[in-house]
């Protein structure tokens, strides 16, 4: 019989974020499980999921565990795993857990698998190889087995609030590392929103000459930002658009290589996607593998989206369409 443990960090406001609630929802399908919480305050998070069905709630609590640091994160995770005698350890594959997953498994004499996209009884995990081209199902005999579940693969735990009894786990861990702040890429806006329902992709067409023979980059930036602010969509880009800055051409100031979707970019998970002024070539659309409903706006009826890559292709001027969409969004009560 496996002893399943879900580990999660609490947020600055004491709550549990969606990736953590997804990992708990995944554990619910496997059988009895425990939850281990790490953070400055853990009672609020435990109460948030009190009715999730966990047998025990372990917690490492303290200001030193609020900071995302290898030394304290790994020590806390190891201590809870040992206290719970866990054989299967499930964590959300956030950047914070991704940093410590392998180290925690090594400390426990176990194995880690990251970027897991599904988990079923056994447990058997699903993950992708070769840049999301081949899907494998696998299991392991080694225990403990630490499994890092990619966000967006499981519907998150909803509701389940109540009053939970926490079992404190004492950890003495210090670190000379102090997190002083966040250094983000040189974009003027935070445009990547992994939790957004919609992915809005801008292609190089936004910076190209339009039917009047002129480029309209400033207007493109205004339209795109206006839409992002009104819809809270996440912004993706084609490679051509983010590469333009290196070629000294007019570019959208809020765009960086982090926005790039595709074979050499990211493969985000959003319910819907809208591509604009983007041709829809295979190296780009391969990054849309997990986008459930796809739409595109392109002047060219023969663009790549028309060839089975989009559910709906609007053959239209994206400037005109998005200007109208922004107008409608602004008029919405
Ligand atoms: C090894 C390799 C890896 C690659 N990896 C990636 C990757 O990870 N991601 C990626 O994106 N690409 C990648 N590429 C590049 C990819 O093949 C394409 O070159 C790129 O996606 C094209 O970008 P685009 O569609 O924005 O630009 P373009 O091909 O220039 O297309 C612009 C589009 O905008 C349309 N348009 C212009 N004005 C308007 C308007 N007013 N309204 C509507 N539509 C308009 C045009 O009709 C055109 O279809 C890779 C290529 C290689 C060889």
Domains and CATH numbers, the chain: 4-168 (3.40.50.620), 198-331 (3.40.50.1220)
Q: What is the pLDDT of residues 71-106, one digit of tens each?
A: 999 999 999 999 999 999 999 999 999 999 999 999
Distance CA(118)–CA(95), nearest Å, equals: 18
Ligand 1 site, CB within 6 A: 203-205, 208, 210, 238-241, 260-265, 277-279, 281, 283-284, 287, 297-300, 303, 317-319
Residue 185: what pLDDT? 62
Atom of ligand 1 nearest to the CA of 297: 43
Whether 167 has a pLDDT exceeding 70, the answer reads yes
Distance CA(266)–CA(5), nearest Å, equals: 29
Pull the structure tokens for residue 182: 């966040």
What letter would DSSP give residue 266?
B
Ligand 1 center from residue 42 Cα (angstroms): 46
Q: What is the pLDDT of residues 52-75, one digit of tens each?
A: 999 999 999 999 999 999 999 999
- In our burial notation (b when 16+ CB lie closer than 10 A, e otherwise), range 122-156 reads ebebebbeeebeeeeeeebeeebbbbbbbbbbbeb
Mutate to test the pocket of ligand 1, among 220, 259, 281 (most ligand atoms within 8 A of CB): 281
Average pLDDT score, the chain: 94
Residue 38 binned pLDDT confidence (cut-offs 50, 70, 90):
very high
Nearest CA, atom 43, ligand 1: 298
Pull the structure tokens for residue 106: 């090594």
Ligand 1 center from residue 237 Cα (angstroms): 9
Mean pLDDT in residue range 228-252: 87
Ligand 1 center from residue 58 Cα (angstroms): 49
Strands 145-149 and 166-168: unpaired
Q: What is the dihedral sign for C-alpha 180, 183, 189, 195?
A: negative
Q: CA nearest 75: which of 174, 180, 178?
A: 174
DSSP line for 288-308? GTT-SEEEEEES-TTSGGGTT
User: In the block, which residue shows the tokens 């995302």?
Assistant: 68
Give the residue ranges of DSSP H helices in the chain.
18-28, 43-48, 70-84, 95-107, 217-231, 239-243, 282-285, 318-331
List Cβ neighbours of 296 (8 Å cut-off, separation of 6 or more).
274, 275, 276, 278, 280, 303, 305, 309, 310, 312, 313, 314
Pull the structure tokens for residue 63: 């200001």
Nearest CA, atom 52, ligand 1: 283
Task: Supply φ then ψ for residue 79, to 5 degrees.
Answer: -65, -45
End-to-end CA distance of the chain: 54
**Which residues on neighbouring strands pair with residue 235, listed in sequence order?**
200
% of the chain with per-residue pLDDT over 70: 96
Q: What is the pLDDT of residues 171-189, one digit of tens each?
A: 998 889 998 987 766 666 7
Q: What is the pLDDT of residues 260-270, one digit of tens each?
A: 999 999 999 89
Mean pLDDT in residue range 6-29: 97
Q: Which run of H or of E encompasses 269?
A: none
Ligand 1 center from residue 256 Cα (angstroms): 15
What letter would DSSP give residue 287?
G
Helix axes 318-331, 217-231, angle to 10 degrees: 40
Ligand 1 center from residue 320 Cα (angstroms): 20
Residue 93: what pLDDT? 96
The pTM assigned to this predicted structure is: 0.74
Q: What is the dihedral sign for C-alpha 251, 254, 257, 259?
A: negative
Q: CA nearest 85: which of 62, 108, 59, 52?
A: 108
Ligand 1 center from residue 201 Cα (angstroms): 11
Residue 246 binned pLDDT confidence (cut-offs 50, 70, 90):
low
Atom of ligand 1 nearest to the CA of 206: 38
Ligand 1 center from residue 280 Cα (angstroms): 6
Residue 181: what pLDDT? 85
Q: Angle at Cα 69 formed by Cα 64 and Cα 71, nearest 5°?
A: 85
Pull the structure tokens for residue 286: 């391969």
Nearest CA, atom 26, ligand 1: 203
């Amino acid at each position: 019989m496996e002893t399943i443990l879900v580990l999660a960090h609490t947020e600055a406001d004491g709550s549990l974020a969606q990736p953590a609630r997804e990992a708990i929802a995944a554990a619910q399908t496997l059988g009895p499980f425990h939850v281990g919480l790490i953070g400055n305050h853990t009672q609020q998070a435990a109460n948030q999921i009190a009715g999730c069905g966990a047998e025990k709630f372990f917690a490492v609590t303290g200001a030193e565990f609020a900071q995302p640091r290898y030394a304290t994160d790994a020590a806390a995770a190891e201590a809870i795993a040992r206290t719970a005698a866990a054989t299967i350890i499930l964590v959300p594959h956030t950047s914070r857990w991704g940093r410590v997953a392998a180290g925690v498994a090594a400390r426990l004499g176990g194995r880690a698998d990251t970027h897991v996209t599904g988990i079923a009884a056994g447990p058997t995990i699903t993950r992708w190889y070769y840049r999301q081209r081949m899907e494998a199902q696998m299991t392991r005999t080694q225990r403990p087995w630490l499994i890092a579940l990619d966000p967006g693969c499981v519907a998150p735990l909803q509701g389940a609030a109540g009053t939970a009894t926490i079992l404190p786990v004492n950890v003495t861990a210090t670190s000379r590392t102090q997190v002083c702040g966040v250094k983000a890429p040189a974009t003027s806006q935070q445009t990547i929103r992994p939790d957004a329902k919609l992915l809005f992709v801008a292609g190089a067409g936004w910076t190209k000459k339009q039917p009047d023979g002129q480029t309209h980059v400033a207007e493109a930036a205004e339209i795109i930002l206006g839409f992002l602010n009104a819809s809270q969509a996440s912004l993706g880009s084609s490679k051509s658009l983010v590469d333009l800055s290196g070629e000294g051409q007019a570019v959208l100031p809020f765009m960086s290589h982090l926005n790039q979707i595709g074979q050499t970019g990211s493969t985000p998970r959003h319910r819907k996607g809208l591509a604009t002024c983007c041709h829809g070539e295979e190296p780009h659309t391969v990054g849309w593998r997990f986008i459930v409903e796809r739409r595109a706006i392109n002047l060219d009826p023969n663009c790549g989206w028309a060839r089975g890559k989009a559910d709906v292709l609007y053959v239209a001027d994206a400037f005109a369409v998005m200007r109208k969409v922004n107008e409608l969004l602004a008029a919405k009560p």
